[in-house]
Structure 1
Amino acid sequence: MKEKLPRLPIATRLRNDFLAGLIICAPVAITLWLTWSVVRWADSWVKPYLPARYDPDNYLNFAVPGSGLLIALVAITLIGFLGKNLIGQSIVQFSESLVRRVPLVRSIYQSVKQIFETVLKDKTNSFKKVGLIEYPSPGLWALVFISTDAKGEIATKFKAMGQDMVCVFLPPTPVPTAGFLIFTPREKIVPLDMSPEDAAKLLISGGLVTPEELAGRMKKQERTRKPLPAPIEM
């Protein structure tokens, strides 16, 4: 006969049920809260500058959440479409020429534009690869996002020393939005197969959430791997 497992105390069972419910509800609640915050933030920026006749709230007895975000998406898409035409390019170039005449604004605009062009271009590999480097001391490894090769004066200085340097971004845990810009030799980087999304999950969770797809792929490879033949006895 099978031995009956001892019944857990009521307090322990309630605690386990509460933790199970928290694991189910917390991700949903946080996702909804973040989505609602983004929608309200977009509405607060767009609606004050929207003419009254184009604001759907003036024709309804209730506010329409997300209308400002939708209008912003349509406007940005329309501006991008017009910016590809000859007339649109002429307007953009004229506007940029005016911005470049203002000393402080010129530096900020050029820096921000270069960042967006580098990150949003389809052909770039910036922040699409993940690796490991020894940081902050030998024997300790940190997760980094590989940005690009060293360029300009920095690349020239390092090449004169015979070093091929790569620019990487070292984010902290658990908020990977800020971090350190590090130049490291290419041969010092250990490339990883995980995606930037999986790396972000690993950082935000403090190492608790491991890349599931990569782990599943490795287990599958281990299952399909053929065993080595037994040595032939002489």
Structure 2
Amino acid sequence: MKKYILAGLLVWLPLAITVWVLSWLLGALNGVFESMLSASQAVLPQAAHASIERLRHVPGLGIVVMVLGLLLTGVFAANFVGQWWLRQWDRVLHNIPIVKSIYSSVKQVSDTLFSSSGNAFREAVLVQYPRQGSWTIAFVTGKPGGEVAAHLSDDFVSVYVPTTPNPTSGFFLMMPRSDVRVLKMSVDEALKYVISMGVVAPPEAAPARN
């Protein structure tokens, strides 16, 4: 009976997690839509409040509106006029105290992670962490720069060590390049290996032909 229960769990667990993630995402989109409706009620006259309340009860409307808004924003940002307006918007936000620190940091990270020309994770490597003799998978994100690089005399690389099974949290380390072992597996294969807690091992690289 234990064998059959585990077999059933392996069938339903991936589906359950997928549904949970999608439900969370759809809930977040609906939450943004609800906030937009509440803001509209604060600005529009009282006569329009009844119509706004009816919109709250339309199933799936928030998701449709948010996806459509993202699509139209992407189309606007992809053309010359949209890029000009976005530059002006960035300039305004960068002149606001406190806001500029948060906005610029988040924008740099998001541009690196989600831009089609970005290269957030360059290669998968093995590093000793959290102590000598204990190895884990990490991802090279670049080289130390600025003031930090001036304090590091040797050849160092910046690496990101993800946590399992949630790779979106982790640790940022700067290590000597000599302490990093480059892996032949792709970044996608390494991420699957981390998320599966080592259960889904990537295939071994084929030996090079002479």
Q: TM-score range, shorter-chain basis?
A: 0.7 to 0.9
Structure 1 residue 140, shift from structure 2 partner: 2.2
CA spacing shift, 1:125–1:187, aligned 2, 3 Å = farther
The size of the alignment, in residue pairs, is 198
Contact 2:111 2:118 in 1 (8 A): no
**Alignment partner, residue 40 of structure 1:** 27
Structure 1 residue 124, shift from structure 2 partner: 3.2
Q: What is the rounded CA distance, in whole Å, between the counterparts of 2:118 and 2:92 in structure 1?
A: 29
Contact 2:123 2:140 in 1 (8 A): yes
Amino acid in the other structure paired with 2:83? Q
Consecutive unaligned residues in structure 1, runs of 5 or more? 1-13, 226-234
2:173 to 160, 176, 182: 182
**Alignment partner, residue 43 of structure 2:** none
Query: Structure 2 matches for 1:59-98, cutoff 5 A?
Result: 63-65=58-60, 67-98=61-92
**What is the DSSP-based 3-state SS (H/G/I as helix, E as strand, rest coil) of the residue aligned with 1:111?**
helix
Structure 1 residue 175, shift from structure 2 partner: 2.8
Structure 1 residue 110, shift from structure 2 partner: 0.7
Structure 1 residue 85, shift from structure 2 partner: 3.8
Structure 1 residue 58, shift from structure 2 partner: 4.5
Structure 1 residue 117, shift from structure 2 partner: 1.6
1:205 to 185, 196, 210: 196
Amino acid in the other structure paired with 2:120? S
Q: What is the rounded CA distance, in whole Å, between the counterparts of 2:155 and 2:126 in structure 1?
A: 17
**What is the DSSP-based 3-state SS (H/G/I as helix, E as strand, rest coil) of the residue aligned with 2:87?**
helix
**Alignment partner, residue 129 of structure 1:** 123
RMSD (Å), alpha carbons = 3.0
Larger radius of gyration: 1
Consecutive unaligned residues in structure 2, runs of 5 or more? 41-47
Structure 1 residue 99, shift from structure 2 partner: 1.6
**Per-residue CA shift, 1:173-220, capped at 9, x if unaligned?**
333222211111223211112233332332233322222xx24xx4xx
Amino acid in the other structure paired with 1:38? L
Please tell me whether residue 168 in structure 1 is matched to residue 175 in structure 2: no
Q: What is the rounded CA distance, in whole Å, between the counterparts of 2:174 and 2:115 in structure 1?
A: 23
Amino acid in the other structure paired with 1:194? M
Structure 1 residue 164, shift from structure 2 partner: 1.9
Q: What is the rounded CA distance, in whole Å, between the counterparts of 1:187 and 1:90 in structure 2?
A: 44
Q: What is the rounded CA distance, in whole Å, between the counterparts of 1:150 and 1:100 in structure 2?
A: 24
Please tell me whether residue 15 in structure 1 is matched to residue 2 in structure 2: yes
Q: What is the rounded CA distance, in whole Å, between the counterparts of 1:91 and 1:137 in structure 2?
A: 49
Please tell me whether residue 26 in structure 1 is matched to residue 21 in structure 2: no
Q: What is the rounded CA distance, in whole Å, between the counterparts of 1:18 and 1:143 in structure 2?
A: 32
Q: Percent identity?
A: 31
Amino acid in the other structure paired with 1:39? L
Q: TM-score, normalised by structure 1?
A: 0.71
Contact 1:128 1:195 in 2 (8 A): no
Amino acid in the other structure paired with 2:15? V
Q: What is the rounded CA distance, in whole Å, between the counterparts of 1:97 and 1:193 in structure 2?
A: 42
**What is the DSSP-based 3-state SS (H/G/I as helix, E as strand, rest coil) of the residue aligned with 2:18?**
helix
**What is the DSSP-based 3-state SS (H/G/I as helix, E as strand, rest coil) of the residue aligned with 1:143?**
strand
CA spacing shift, 1:155–1:123, aligned 2, 3 Å = farther
Amino acid in the other structure paired with 1:64? P
**Alignment partner, residue 45 of structure 2:** none
Amino acid in the other structure paired with 1:73? V
Q: TM-score, normalised by structure 2?
A: 0.78
Query: Structure 2 matches for 1:87-166, cutoff 5 A?
Result: 87-158=81-152, 161=153, 163-166=154-157
